[in-house]
């Protein structure tokens, strides 16, 4: 380890406070079944108190949260109280762990503050399974997308979430 070594990045599921794995499969309720994927939902509680529902879009026809089958995770809000402060806390936590988002932004700014009540672009981080940013990929790719709209609400999608299962 060199003088300027950085500490290993935390797993994004750990940041969210979610424990996902094969033992979670019994909590999933099928929502829709398409040719290429099945959507399952489950009630959740996560660290930022922004989301109350998790949708697991599992590609294939087998319910599998072991990490061996490709799936995306979409966190939705169906009634939890959303405040701009909670969104700011989430953005700052993710930026502290993974650095700049895809557009080069880091922590919450006055620009975010001004935009969120009318039209906010949201944030997107692209990392690999070890938490390295898209400029330093080792293997795989995970996209973390945070979106908020006054009328539609908030959602967080994690594309390639199966790669986060240890």
Determine the pLDDT at residue 152: 82
Q: Which residues pair with 39 in a beta bridge?
A: 32, 57
Determine the pLDDT at residue 6: 65
Domain residue ranges in the chain: 12-164
Rounded CA separation 82/113 (Å): 15
Determine the pLDDT at residue 114: 87
Residues in the chain with pLDDT < 70? 1-6, 129-139
Determine the pLDDT at residue 15: 95
Residues 159, 59 contacting (CB under 8 angstroms): no
Determine the pLDDT at residue 120: 83
> Which positions ≥6 away from 59 have C-beta within 8 Å?
36, 37, 69, 70, 71
For the chain, the distance separating the N- and C-terminal CA atoms, rounded to the nearest angstrom, is: 24
Task: Determine whether 67 is exposed, middle or buried from the number of CB atoms within 10 Å of its CB (0-12, 13-18, 19+).
Answer: middle
Rounded CA separation 150/164 (Å): 30
- Measure the CA angle with vertex 113, ends 156 and 86; round to 5°: 45
Determine the pLDDT at residue 41: 97
Determine the pLDDT at residue 92: 97
Residues 84, 111 contacting (CB under 8 angstroms): no
pLDDT per position as a tens digit, 78-115? 877 889 999 999 999 999 999 999 889 999 999 898 88
Rounded CA separation 133/69 (Å): 23
Task: Please name the residue that has the structure tokens 């399974």.
Answer: 129
Determine the pLDDT at residue 54: 96
> Which positions ≥6 away from 105 have C-beta within 8 Å?
95, 123
Determine the pLDDT at residue 149: 83
Provide the whole-model pTM. 0.88
């Amino acid at each position: 380890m060199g003088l300027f070594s950085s500490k290993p990045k935390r797993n994004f599921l750990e940041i969210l406070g979610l424990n996902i794995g094969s033992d979670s499969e019994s909590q999933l309720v099928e929502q829709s079944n398409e040719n290429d994927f099945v959507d399952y939902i489950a009630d959740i509680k996560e660290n930022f108190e922004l989301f109350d529902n998790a949708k697991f879009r599992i590609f294939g026809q087998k319910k599998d949260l072991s990490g061996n089958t490709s799936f995306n995770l979409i966190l939705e809000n169906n009634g939890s109280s959303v405040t701009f402060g909670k969104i700011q806390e989430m953005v700052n936590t993710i930026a502290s762990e993974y650095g700049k988002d895809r557009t080069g932004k880091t922590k919450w700014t006055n620009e975010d503050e001004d935009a969120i009540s009318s039209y906010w672009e949201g944030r997107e981080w692209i990392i690999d399974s070890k938490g390295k940013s898209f400029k330093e990929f080792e293997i795989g790719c995970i996209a973390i997308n945070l979106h908020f709209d006054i009328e539609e609400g908030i959602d967080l999608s994690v594309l390639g979430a199966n790669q986060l299962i240890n």
